[in-house]
Amino acid sequence: MSQIVETDVLIVGAGPAGAMSSLILSGLGVRNVMINKYKSSSPGPRSHITNQRAMEILRDLGLEDAAKELATPQSYMGEHVYATSLVGEEYGRIRSWSTHPASMAEHVMASPTTYCDFPQLYFEPLVVNAATQRGADVRFQTEYLSHVQDETGVTAKLLDRLNGQEYAVRAKYLIGADGARSQVAEDIGLPFEGQMALGESGSINIEFTADLAAYTDHRRGDMYWILKSGLGVRGNGIGVLRMVRPWNKWVCVWGYDLSKGTPTLDDTQAKAIVQRLIGSTDIALTIDAISTWTINRKYATKNMIGRVFCMGDAVHRHTPQGGLGLNTSVQDAYNLCWKLAHVVKGKAGSGLLASYDAERSPVARQIVEYAYSCGAKTNHMFDVLALPKSPTEEDMRNCLESLKAPTPQGAAKRETFRAAMDETIAGFGGGYGVEMNQRYASKAICPDGTQDPGFPRDAKRYYQPSTRPGAHLPHAWLTENQRRISTLDLCGKGRFTLLTGLAGSKWVDAAAAVAEALGIELHVHVIGPGQRFVDTYGDFAKFADISESGALLVRPDMFIAWRTHTTPEDQVTGLMNALKSILDLN
Ligand SMILES: Cc1cc2nc3c(=O)[nH]c(=O)nc-3n(C[C@H](O)[C@H](O)[C@H](O)COP(=O)(O)OP(=O)(O)OC[C@H]3O[C@@H](n4cnc5c(N)ncnc54)[C@H](O)[C@@H]3O)c2cc1C
């Protein structure tokens, strides 16, 4: 090997997980090298749904506005149409991604930002560019081959695919963000549960360009589900036209028989599938790319070994339903990187890093199982229609006729079908609680001794804010110079934040003393009349669940690490002990 490159963190993979890690570490002044085996970022759209938690992270990192410019807004995402073809008869719609007025209210109240449709194709270059501008060493055409770790670091062997030369990188830590076929996860022997390529059928994605505005702009949605004979998605006679750019860039999803191996379609065959789903051969279209994917249900029960951490699809592999893949990958990075920064800079003990596993491995399991359960809901809809696997034209005709029958049986079928269709919302925004309610339990969280009230409402469906340690800081609008600012905007940016009310003003001096003693960044915000931040709507007081003199200690990743309901006699000791415990400085 010709050369040894030294860095603090080596990141394998420049997809959403790797790129976000590189961006966050670079912003916090941690040296990092990020590699990608290929010559470009994701050429295909892949992920679309970018949820509020991921958008809040982009907001913290100063990229929310740039993301919104590249993304399609929520108002274009909401109508999920079920029809015989794009030009054909509709048999129902659901309002997805919180566009139902009732869910919209909940959505708007929960966060300073919104869902958007931000194809990975545009997401990755934005984040990789920003990471580079903030100082990351980014190397495309560079392949990870292997690594060894010892007590002080990791030495990885890389291949420069431009010149065929191998070289070594010596890093303090290694992040494996190398996707669903992760070599890093395999090399450190992470334990997995579940399976890849489940079921009898896989899916074919056909990317195409066609102006379909005449059929979509009056019923704006991200997906148009089309009932057709043949082997569609999950073996049902169903195909999907998925918006990439309204209304001329699309992905058409159709099915294939897994037992016959991965199909190789030419453009003419691909075009014929797209035209069947559109229901017309008169619309000009060009095929841009063809790829395949399978139903996966697999997660790692542990995501780190020593100095090596895995994140993103490397540790959670699941179906696109629920739109949780990219979003969870982004949150993995946001969880780990502030911890790495504190440890690398000598401001925390290495025990802090173990909380990455304790906090994120349960999330990996939860989202994989949730995404899988959503697929079952879609299948149920087709069971209700009494469609056989791979239905014929006659099956389809009978099915649609039975939905129109002016009989009690027809009415019963319509009712059951409507209920089953409504249930599919689980995969398209109905898992709002899954997205928003994550609670952490680890050594980087100090319990406050209060009883966990659990979730009074369905925890998968409804967001239920809390300030108990381990919960995400709730959003409330405050004002600064008469302008609205979110509680979330006061926190993040790689540092700890203490939020208190006017009667808690003494926390300012206590926090300054603790920050100086520990050498960490800790900002205090006193929220109240006459202060920089004013609780103008009274919402902070309502959600804080502490008295005005109490305090919420918010970690750099917006999770509440500690809280006190009132001012304790010895504020410095209380806060100091909490932070020492969180940062493994005892
Ligand atoms: C059809 C489809 C639709 C989806 N829709 C959504 C959605 O709406 N919302 C959502 O949140 N998610 C969605 N996802 C999931 C999302 O695409 C993934 O969860 C996300 O890409 C995971 O990011 P990652 O960074 O972990 O992995 P990847 O994006 O797979 O990136 C892995 C990176 O590692 C690199 N790499 C791999 N091996 C090596 C090596 N040996 N050396 C160097 N580099 C290597 C790759 O080149 C790549 O840069 C969808 C996925 C599919 C397939």
The pLDDT tens digits of the residues spanning 232-266 come to: 887 788 899 999 999 999 999 999 999 999 999 99
Atom of ligand 1 nearest to the CA of 293: 53
DSSP state, residue 221: B
Q: How far is CA 58 from the centre of its chain?
A: 12
User: Does the residue 48 lie in any domain?
Assistant: yes
Write down the pTM of the prediction. 0.97
**Local structure of 373: helix, strand or coil:** helix
- Examine the pLDDT at 396 and tell me if it is beyond 90: no
Alpha helix (H) residue ranges in 175-246: 183-187, 213-216
Atom of ligand 1 nearest to the CA of 14: 49
- Examine the pLDDT at 33 and tell me if it is beyond 80: yes
Last residue of a domain, one of 359, 377, 407: 359
**Confidence band of 2 (pLDDT split at 50, 70, 90):** low
CA of 34 to the centre of ligand 1 (A): 15
CA of 121 to the centre of ligand 1 (A): 11
- Examine the pLDDT at 35 and tell me if it is beyond 80: yes
Q: For the domain that residue 511 is a member of, what is the CATH number? A: 3.40.30.120
Residue 234 CB–ligand 1 contact under 6 Å: no
Contacts of residues 571-575 at CB distance under 8 Å and 24 or more positions apart, as own/partner, are: 571/506, 571/507, 571/510, 572/510, 572/513, 572/514, 575/498, 575/507, 575/510, 575/511, 575/514, 575/551
Residue 120 CB–ligand 1 contact under 6 Å: yes
Residue 326 CB–ligand 1 contact under 6 Å: yes
pLDDT in tens, 150-166: 999 999 999 999 999 99
Q: Are residues 123 and 10 in the same domain?
A: yes
Percentage of residues in the chain with pLDDT exceeding 70?
100
Q: Are residues 345 and 451 in the same domain?
A: no
As given in the structure block, the two tokens for residue 534 are: 């004013």
Q: Are residues 448 and 354 in the same domain?
A: no
- Examine the pLDDT at 26 and tell me if it is beyond 90: yes
Say if CB 94 and CB 425 are below 8 A apart.
yes
- Examine the pLDDT at 225 and tell me if it is beyond 70: yes
**How many CA atoms are closer than 13 Å to the CA of 205, on its beta-carbon side?**
18
Q: Are residues 21 and 139 in the same domain?
A: yes
User: Does the residue 339 lie in any domain?
Assistant: yes
> Cα angle at 558 between 553 and 564, to 5 degrees?
20
As given in the structure block, the two tokens for residue 446 are: 């100090």
Residue 48 CB–ligand 1 contact under 6 Å: yes
Last residue of a domain, one of 359, 374, 392: 359
What pLDDT, on a 0 to 100 scale, did the predictor assign at position 1?
60
Atom of ligand 1 nearest to the CA of 38: 47
Q: What is the mean pLDDT of residues 266-272?
A: 96
Between β-strands 154-160 and 142-149, what pairing exists: parallel, antiparallel or unpaired?
antiparallel
Q: Are residues 351 and 451 in the same domain?
A: no
As given in the structure block, the two tokens for residue 546 are: 């502490």
pLDDT in tens, 168-196: 999 999 999 999 999 999 999 999 999 99
| Cα separation, 447 vs 457, whole angstroms | 23
Q: Are residues 340 and 453 in the same domain?
A: no
CA of 176 to the centre of ligand 1 (A): 12
Q: How many domains does the chain have?
A: 2
What pLDDT, on a 0 to 100 scale, did the predictor assign at position 492?
98
Residue 35 CB–ligand 1 contact under 6 Å: yes
User: Does the residue 375 lie in any domain?
Assistant: no
What pLDDT, on a 0 to 100 scale, did the predictor assign at position 586?
77
Q: What is the mean pLDDT of residues 468-493?
A: 98
CA of 313 to the centre of ligand 1 (A): 6
Residue 183 CB–ligand 1 contact under 6 Å: yes
Q: For the domain that residue 309 is a member of, what is the CATH number? A: 3.50.50.60
Residue 207 CB–ligand 1 contact under 6 Å: no
| Cα separation, 330 vs 55, whole angstroms | 10
Q: Are residues 35 and 175 in the same domain?
A: yes
User: Does the residue 553 lie in any domain?
Assistant: yes
Looking at every residue in the chain, the average pLDDT score rounds to: 96
Q: What is the mean pLDDT of residues 547-567?
A: 96
As given in the structure block, the two tokens for residue 79 are: 């109508």
Q: Are residues 347 and 465 in the same domain?
A: no
What pLDDT, on a 0 to 100 scale, did the predictor assign at position 491?
98
**Confidence band of 67 (pLDDT split at 50, 70, 90):** very high
User: Does the residue 511 lie in any domain?
Assistant: yes
Last residue of a domain, one of 318, 338, 359: 359
Contacts of residues 108-112 at CB distance under 8 Å and 24 or more positions apart, as own/partner, are: 109/475, 110/52, 110/436, 110/463, 110/465, 110/474, 110/475, 111/52, 111/53, 111/55, 111/56, 111/475, 111/486, 111/488, 112/56, 112/59, 112/475, 112/477, 112/486, 112/488, 112/489
Q: Which of 277, 266, 272 is nearest to 82 (CA)?
A: 277
What pLDDT, on a 0 to 100 scale, did the predictor assign at position 409?
93
What pLDDT, on a 0 to 100 scale, did the predictor assign at position 81?
96
Percentage of residues in the chain with pLDDT exceeding 90?
90
Ligand 1, atom 38: nearest CA belongs to which residue?
Answer: 178
Residue 38 CB–ligand 1 contact under 6 Å: yes
Residue 293 CB–ligand 1 contact under 6 Å: yes
- Examine the pLDDT at 391 and tell me if it is beyond 70: yes
- Examine the pLDDT at 551 and tell me if it is beyond 90: yes
Say if CB 328 and CB 359 are below 8 A apart.
no
Q: Are residues 143 and 15 in the same domain?
A: yes
Least confident segment among 63-77, 131-145, 304-318, 367-381: 367-381
Q: Are residues 57 and 185 in the same domain?
A: yes
What pLDDT, on a 0 to 100 scale, did the predictor assign at position 375?
87
| Cα separation, 443 vs 429, whole angstroms | 32
Q: What is the mean pLDDT of residues 74-94?
A: 95
Ligand 1, atom 14: nearest CA belongs to which residue?
Answer: 47
User: Does the residue 567 lie in any domain?
Assistant: yes
Residue 17 CB–ligand 1 contact under 6 Å: yes
Q: Are residues 353 and 460 in the same domain?
A: no
pLDDT in tens, 417-428: 999 999 999 999
Q: What is the mean pLDDT of residues 487-497?
A: 98
User: Does the residue 458 lie in any domain?
Assistant: yes
- What range defines the domain where residue 521 resides? 444-582
Atom of ligand 1 nearest to the CA of 49: 8
- Examine the pLDDT at 3 and tell me if it is beyond 80: no
User: Does the residue 433 lie in any domain?
Assistant: no
